[in-house]
Structure 1
Amino acid sequence: MTQKYDYIIVGAGSAGCVLANRLTENGQHKVLLLETGGSDKSIFIQMPTALSIPMNTDKYAWQFHTEPEPYLDNRKMHCPRGKVLGGSSSINGMVYVRGHAKDFDEWQQHGAQGWDYQSCLPYFKKAESWYLGENTYRGSEGPLGVNNGNEMENPLYRAFIEAGQQAGYAKTNDYNAAQQEGFGPMHMTIKNGRRCSASRAYLDPIKRRSNLTIITGAQAQKVLLQNKQAQGVEFKVNGKVQSALAKREVILSAGPIGSPHLLQLSGIGDKETLEKAGVEVQHHLPGVGQNLQDHLEFYFQYKCKQPITLNGKLGLISKGLIGARWILSKDGLGATNHFESCAFIRSKPGVEWPDIQYHFLPAAIRYDGKSAFDGHGFQVHVGHNKPKSRGAVTIASSDPDEAPKIQFNYLQHPEDIEGFRACVRLTREIIEQSAFDDYRDGEIQPGKDIQTDEQIDAFVRQAVESAYHPSCSCKMGEDDMAVVDSQTKVHGINSLRVVDSSIFPTIPNGNLNAPTIMVAEKAADHILGKTPLNNLNAPVVMESQWQQVQRRSEI
């Protein structure tokens, strides 16, 4: 017999776990949560320092790759997405960045009414348990634990912050509060030494609720539609196709790749695209899969004079000791993602708010852990974070098992290329400050010979990697290319919503887990018909002379 639920949520990722918690909270609604992956209890997921393993493990991640990217020398870029309880919050780098206040004001300007910064801030606070306690900007009673790892014990973290100040930039003690711009400590979603994924924060405490059903190993095939109304979901478990019906709503939280693909599999999308893929058109909605955005980054690497970097901890014995300490006490190097200082700066005068982000790492090693510098080194990950290039997620066929085509068109827009030139030149200037004199011992990458625009552009095309922040492929708004409205309802289809990072109108300046969780917290109130949380009218610190200056030590 086909089961009936009030709500069906597709995807137990950063958004889906939040919704499962909030929609079952009052005990009045029966909720089904579908997830293709399985348990997130692996030590490699729970131990923060092991972050590179789950992302590159087929069991825990969809190992998507893009089509050849024409502006990156036709490279096919890796685009992993979580396939496990917690979704990408169980495989990500655990960096907690909300984004700049202006990023959310920009959403409202793009037609997402009620999603400006002051409207979103109460939901950031609601989600969070900030280790230093509550204030105007930070929450202390939410499910999501946020801290600074090992409090920057390694001196290289503080050297990076000091170098930024010496280069003429401001310091910010909390980039998630009033002032994003500047250099300071970085925050991570870790609680009591363990990864604090959306699954751990929102799902683990409620798994025994009688009104919540969780089915893992369930791959959604399509949304069941009748007369442009979502009736339920067809899904496959152990090779058998099943269906469930929704009395109230179906909510897609399958992420920026999965949600547009599932809409297209269901016959919702651009008419010509669907017909070409052999899918019967149920509703022409041309924006589905369009507007795709992502962050790129590369590693600026230097040799280190002193043997204080993580490159000295990569042997089997050292790794074993780190792992043993973590298992016994949940502290030490195993209890951090190692990105403990950071910065947000503007690439040039005339840029109103930061568009470059830094993650500092006291090691010279690839993000996936596959290649490390032979010796001691350190690096800073840097990227131009407000790209103007746009791509698409496009259904390849009517077969749900066939991955969609993913094309970001990275660096298509000339301003994105200029942004990365600024990344190279500004970063060099920062690392050459005297704060690094006792540590810096020569540039590994890009290399001192990379100087001209042409040389930088060629290096960037070959060296940049995705920062794993795909988003915006089912954008929120009211224009012809919008997929959902400001209530997260799919345009033209009743009883169907999308709630995940795909509905961002534009990509924020920062990592995406925090704003995705915020979006789900806020959407839950929309779904339940609750009055939105009160705006806080919190002050935002901005550079008043942004049109004339690129940096100032005091903002």
Structure 2
Amino acid sequence: MADIEADYVIVGAGSAGCVVANRLSADPSVRVALLEAGGPDRSPWIHIPVGYFKTMNNPAFDWRYRTEPDPGLNGRQLDWPRGKVLGGSSSLNGLLYVRGQPEDYDRWAQMGARGWAWPEVLPLFKRAEDQERGADEHHGAGGPLSVSDPRISRAICDEWVAAAQAAGHKFNPDCNGETQEGVGYFQLTVRNGRRCSAATAYLRPARGRENLRIVTRAQAEKVEIEDGRATAVVWRDAGGRLHRARAHAEVILASGAIGSPQLLMLSGVGEGAHLQEHGIPVIRDCADVGRNLQDHLQARLVLKCNSPTLNDEVRSLANKARIALRYALFRSGPMTMAASLAFGFLKTADHLATPDIQFHIQPWSADSPGEGVHPFSAFTVSVCQLRPESRGEIRLRSPSATAHPTIRPNYLATETDRRTIVAGIRMARDIAREAPLKAHISEEFRPGAAVESDAALLDWARNSATTIYHPAGTCRMGSDEGAVTDARLRVRGVTGLRVADCSIMPEIVSGNTNAPAIMIGEKVSDMLVEDRRAGAARR
């Protein structure tokens, strides 16, 4: 078993892991090892914004997780794409830059996550950001992560935004600004027409550092814990050989809301009875490891149009060639498109303090990315509940690190969740009846005009809704003894071990999760540097 020696060993080169690797290795006296189960991010499809059509569900880049049959979805199973490549899910996501609501982070602090209130995390968002519009009180410029406006527009999205305003919703030029509420256009993690993944933003500038070792195709097997302290990560290379990465200071798990709880359980940290079922010695009995699973569910309305949409543009080989040439020459056009162009952050009830529904407006329609667009003119309105009450869990399927864990999201398990998704679908229909949009809609293809009652709409959602790829919460932080980590992301009961990814969220944020994951990486980096300096001062 060959060894790597480092001060810090990071498991997972995703959105947060890349940040931590960059920030820690900025000190040349600190040795950092970054282990990534996937391969390098060399494929051009990773860097072309619309490449998510090619990378999702592709085993070269995607873990290709799949849920267990879910009662809330009438027993359906869902594919859960997660990045297995440098950059993690930031290398194959929809490129949308959304922070969530300030109130999300204030709630974290109220739940015991001291230091995570909005005034404390906003500077980290700003530090990470290179905002195309320039710096202001809400945004930063000059940071590693490029945030830019779309290089493509489509009339059907403009008409949706206009119709939403006609329905009484205000225009919002920046959902990450003073308020999230309103309708407008997404900003993207794109730099000069190319994806700005966490690997591009944070790893690429750091690759030449002698004190940073990046190891790809390194499947973590477990964290070795001796006398209550994390001392090393055992990992297996592509040829099946075992290795050990020794951590003289700390191990940081940044493997995401599925990978991090799985690795904790494989290492003996989890619900004792569950670990014993799989023959794993219990080091720290913590029932909440893998629990508190949350995700955003989306119901996708498809509206047929009497005028061309992107579906028509990409149907012929000649058009595809023209689109590719435009991208090659000018880095513009449909190949720069994110998963959605327009947004709506709206309230389904007047008494709500903040939006509880997010709309993603896409100038195309398909059953899923990678399957190709529908053979007719149409666009998509995705209805996503922002703060689901339902909670699921991750559990081991076997004691093998290569066996995917069981994923039980438990969607639509509460009355609030069921009522909200139906209200969001009705709101989408109301907007579609407003001018100028209604003149361009020939038919509601899905769910269809015949699906009208609340019960029928809920059943349609159960039969068709899918993940919007935002798992979170499975290693929640907090001040209570049941929390997996404390507010400094240290695993309770184990010294020298932290978790830094979306699994630490006590509650999922009200929006897409990539920007918050990068902020979490910035936050834990500061904590690690502070603790290192404090330790040096004591010595």
Say yes or no: does 1:148 pair with 2:144: no
Q: Deviations over 1:485-537 (max 9, x none)?
A: 11110011000000000001100111100000001101100111079xxxxxx
Q: 1:285 to 1:452 in 2, by over 3 A?
A: same
Gap runs ≥5 in structure 1: 532-555
Shift of 1:364: 2.0
CA contact (8 A) 1:149 1:338 kept: no
Q: Secondary structure at the match of 1:455?
A: helix
User: Which residue of structure 2 aligns with residue 477 of structure 1?
Assistant: 478
CA contact (8 A) 1:148 1:340 kept: no
CA contact (8 A) 2:344 2:360 kept: yes
Q: Secondary structure at the match of 1:71?
A: helix
AA aligned opposite 2:424: C
CA distance in 1, matches of 2:274, 2:301: 40
CA contact (8 A) 2:233 2:246 kept: yes
User: Which residue of structure 1 aligns with residue 355 of structure 2?
Assistant: 354
Alignment of 1:295-310 (within 5 A): 295-310=296-311
User: Which residue of structure 2 aligns with residue 111 of structure 1?
Assistant: 112
In terms of mean alpha carbon deviation, does 289-298 or 522-531 score higher?
522-531
Q: 1:258 to 1:348 in 2, by over 3 A?
A: same
Q: Deviations over 1:168-227 (max 9, x none)?
A: 112111110111000011111111000110001100111010000001010000001101
User: Which residue of structure 1 aligns with residue 537 of structure 2?
Assistant: none
CA distance in 1, matches of 2:41, 2:3: 28
CA distance in 1, matches of 2:38, 2:195: 18
Q: Secondary structure at the match of 1:106?
A: helix
AA aligned opposite 1:218: A
CA distance in 2, matches of 1:257, 1:206: 27
User: Which residue of structure 1 aligns with residue 224 of structure 2?
Assistant: 224
Shift of 1:315: 2.8
User: Which residue of structure 2 aligns with residue 551 of structure 1?
Assistant: none
Q: Secondary structure at the match of 2:448?
A: coil
Once the two structures are aligned, what percentage of the paired residues are identical?
A: 39
CA distance in 1, matches of 2:436, 2:112: 45
CA contact (8 A) 1:97 1:510 kept: yes
Q: Secondary structure at the match of 2:439?
A: coil
CA distance in 1, matches of 2:429, 2:255: 39
Gap runs ≥5 in structure 2: 533-539
CA distance in 1, matches of 2:25, 2:482: 33
CA distance in 1, matches of 2:509, 2:175: 13
Shift of 1:397: 1.7
User: Which residue of structure 1 aligns with residue 182 of structure 2?
Assistant: 182
AA aligned opposite 2:194: R
AA aligned opposite 2:274: T
Q: Which runs of 4+ in 1 moved over 6 A?
A: none
AA aligned opposite 1:199: A
User: Which residue of structure 2 aligns with residue 548 of structure 1?
Assistant: none
CA contact (8 A) 1:219 1:235 kept: yes
CA contact (8 A) 1:311 1:373 kept: no
User: Which residue of structure 2 aligns with residue 543 of structure 1?
Assistant: none
Q: Secondary structure at the match of 1:274?
A: helix
Shift of 1:365: 1.9
AA aligned opposite 1:205: P
User: Which residue of structure 2 aligns with residue 27 of structure 1?
Assistant: 28
User: Which residue of structure 2 aligns with residue 100 of structure 1?
Assistant: 101
Q: Secondary structure at the match of 2:488?
A: coil
Shift of 1:435: 1.9
CA contact (8 A) 1:312 1:376 kept: no
Say yes or no: does 1:392 pair with 2:396: no
Alignment of 1:395-434 (within 5 A): 395-434=396-435
User: Which residue of structure 2 aligns with residue 37 of structure 1?
Assistant: 38
- Corresponding pairs, count: 531
User: Which residue of structure 2 aligns with residue 331 of structure 1?
Assistant: 332
CA contact (8 A) 1:146 1:188 kept: yes
CA distance in 2, matches of 1:314, 1:522: 45
Shift of 1:481: 2.8
Shift of 1:309: 3.3
CA contact (8 A) 2:96 2:339 kept: no
AA aligned opposite 2:174: D
Say yes or no: does 1:138 pair with 2:139: yes
Provide TM-score, normalisation by structure 1. Answer: 0.93
Q: Secondary structure at the match of 1:53?
A: helix
Shift of 1:318: 2.1
Say yes or no: does 1:526 pair with 2:527: yes
Q: Secondary structure at the match of 1:280?
A: coil
Alignment of 1:60-459 (within 5 A): 60-150=61-151, 153-237=153-237, 238-337=239-338, 339-459=340-460
Shift of 1:52: 1.9
User: Which residue of structure 1 aligns with residue 508 of structure 2?
Assistant: 507
Alignment of 1:544-555 (within 5 A): none
CA distance in 1, matches of 2:321, 2:51: 12
AA aligned opposite 2:53: S
CA distance in 1, matches of 2:82, 2:324: 26
CA distance in 1, matches of 2:398, 2:148: 44
Say yes or no: does 1:4 pair with 2:5: yes
Q: 1:522 to 1:424 in 2, by over 3 A?
A: same
RMSD: 1.5
CA contact (8 A) 2:301 2:380 kept: yes
Shift of 1:163: 1.1
Q: Deviations over 1:307-353 (max 9, x none)?
A: 24343323333223222332333222212215221110112132221
Shift of 1:422: 0.4
CA distance in 2, matches of 1:412, 1:311: 39
CA distance in 1, matches of 2:512, 2:93: 10
Q: Secondary structure at the match of 2:303?
A: strand
AA aligned opposite 1:230: A
Q: Secondary structure at the match of 2:179?
A: coil
Q: Secondary structure at the match of 2:135?
A: coil
CA contact (8 A) 2:231 2:247 kept: yes
CA distance in 2, matches of 1:311, 1:268: 52
CA distance in 2, matches of 1:282, 1:320: 58
AA aligned opposite 1:332: G
Q: Secondary structure at the match of 1:81?
A: coil
CA distance in 2, matches of 1:275, 1:126: 44
CA contact (8 A) 1:18 1:520 kept: yes
CA distance in 2, matches of 1:330, 1:172: 27
